[in-house]
Structure formats: C-alpha cells, structure tokens
Amino acid sequence: MGLPPSYAAALGPAGARPATRHPGAAASPRPGLADLLTGTLAAEVLRDDGAPLDLVTLAELAGRLAAADGLWRPVVRHDPDRRWYTRLLLTGVVEVWLIGWAPGQHTEVHDHGGALGALAVADGEVEEDVHTARAGSWEQRWTRRHSRGEVIRFAADHVHRVVNRAQGPATTIHAYSPPELPLRYASSDTTRAGRLSTPIAPTAVTATSVSLAPAPVTGGWAAPADGRPAMTTAADR
C-alpha cells in the first residue's frame, strides 16, 4: 500500500553527497516511507480518524523507521548549539518525530498529554530520567540508558526527561498516538522535583505532511518575561 499524497514527500539529499556508482549501473533506491509502511502497518497508521494506535503498533512503527538508516541519516543534523528535530509523519492517529542530539542536549521533564508513545534509538545512546507524580509534583525515580536498536514503549501517564549524556551524537525517532496533544511539564528543571504546570496547547505546525525542513529548538528551558511556564515543543517529547 502506497502513501497518499498528503502523507508522503520525496526524501531529498538534504546536503548529503550522492553515492558514487559505475557508469551504466542501476542506482540503488533509497528507502522511503512508502517502502516501510506497507500491509497492516500502513492500514493502521495512514488513517484520518479512528482509535489511537496501541503500544505494539507504535513500537513497530518507530523501530522500523529507526532501522531504515537510509531514510533518516541523510536528513538528521546534530547541531552543538541547538537541538534539532523534524516531523517525519502526521496522520489522524499518529505523529512521528526525528531528533538529533548533540552531547549534553536534553528535553525538560514532561508528560505526553495522555498519548501513548514509543522511542526508538536509531544511533548512539540516550538516557531517560523517569519521574513519577507525588503530592502535586514530579520526582525523579530512576535513570535508564537506551542504546542503538532499542525501542521503549510508554503508557499515557509516563513522565520523563531524555538526555544525551554520552560523548557522541545520538539520533532517536518518537511516535505518539493520539497526535498533537498538549503536554504538561515541570516548571523548573533545576531540582529533582518540579511543580506541575497546566497544559498549554502546542504551537501550530503543518498538518498531514512529511516535513523535512530543520526545526531547531534550544536544549534548555527558559521562562518567558511574564513568568508563565513556556510550552515545550513536540521535540521535548
């Protein structure tokens, strides 16, 4: 099953040099979303409405995309100054993000607005500081490391912070269902426990499309001048 036009875009070189080949040799096609989303997975993912995806399907989707390095490697960037991300896919039931992590970059402590999620490590490694709610705050309980090839699934009440504490860059793919739900996040990232903020709607982004334009976001949290909590972007998920 191919991708409808609203969900598919050609993956250009994005600055990568084309592979050298002998004259007359057939070019090796780079895998695209249409090659990866087939059969039952395509039927589940490429819907405009209906029930959200379950954790098994989310993990399969994220893992399959992460394993296809010909899909994401020409696109991803690792900017030492600003955490890089782009949305690969948005349908009525799921959104998928590609994130490039330079050493030291991190999200803030956040939930996922009630969405189910899956995180696949495509390259490198990241650490996840897992938090739980207690007495109106989120407290860090443990840290776990995720390496290349790992796919983790998390329920609707999962709270975490993702950090690249390694010496080299990392690349991850994140899938969430339902898509585009408002997040909550800790109002301060300077202590182990953070006060919960109220949900704030995410900033608008182009819907039902594959976006490959870089959309950087700084790795640190900063409160706006009026003192209200700032909204974390989808890449903070």
User: What local confidence, expressed as pLDDT, does residue 30 receive?
Assistant: 57
pLDDT range class, residue 218, cuts 50, 70, 90: very low
Check whether 10 has a pLDDT greater than 60.
no
Range of the domain at 75: 32-209
Residue 204 CB contacts under 8 Å (≥ 6 apart), including other chains:
none
Beta pairing partners, 176: 95, 117
Q: Is residue 8 part of a domain?
A: no
| Single-letter amino acid, residue 184 | R
Domain with 173 in it: what CATH number?
Answer: 2.60.120.10
At residue 84, what are phi and psi to the nearest 5 degrees? -100, 145
User: What local confidence, expressed as pLDDT, does residue 186 receive?
Assistant: 84
The DSSP call for residue 68 is: -
Distance of CA 220 to the CA centre of its chain: 17
State mean pLDDT over 32-50: 90
Asked if residue 160 belongs to a known ligand binding site, the reply is: yes
Q: Is residue 175 part of a domain?
A: yes
Check whether 214 has a pLDDT greater than 50.
no
The count of C-alpha atoms lying within 13 angstroms of the C-alpha of 189, restricted to the half-sphere facing its C-beta, is 20
Instruction: Quote the mean pLDDT of the chain.
Output: 74
State mean pLDDT over 49-62: 97
Q: Of 67 and 23, which is predicted with more confidence? A: 67
State mean pLDDT over 100-121: 96
**pTM listed for this prediction:** 0.70
Measured CA angle at 223 (ends 222, 227), to 5 deg: 165
Q: Is residue 17 part of a domain?
A: no
Q: Is residue 4 part of a domain?
A: no
pLDDT tens column, 170-193: 999 999 999 999 888 887 543 333
C-beta separation of 172 from 162 below 8 A: yes
The count of C-alpha atoms lying within 13 angstroms of the C-alpha of 145, restricted to the half-sphere facing its C-beta, is 8
Q: Is residue 226 part of a domain?
A: no
User: Radius of gyration of the chain from Cα atoms?
Assistant: 18
pLDDT tens column, 114-136: 999 999 999 999 999 999 887 77
Q: Is residue 62 part of a domain?
A: yes
Give the DSSP letter string of 99-148. EEE-TT-B--SB--TT-EEEEEEEESEEEEEEEEEETTEEEEEEEEEEET
Tell me the two tokens of residue 145: 């490391």
Check whether 97 has a pLDDT greater than 90.
yes
Q: Is residue 63 part of a domain?
A: yes
Asked if residue 158 belongs to a known ligand binding site, the reply is: no
Domain count within the chain? 1
Check whether 36 has a pLDDT greater than 90.
no
Asked if residue 174 belongs to a known ligand binding site, the reply is: no
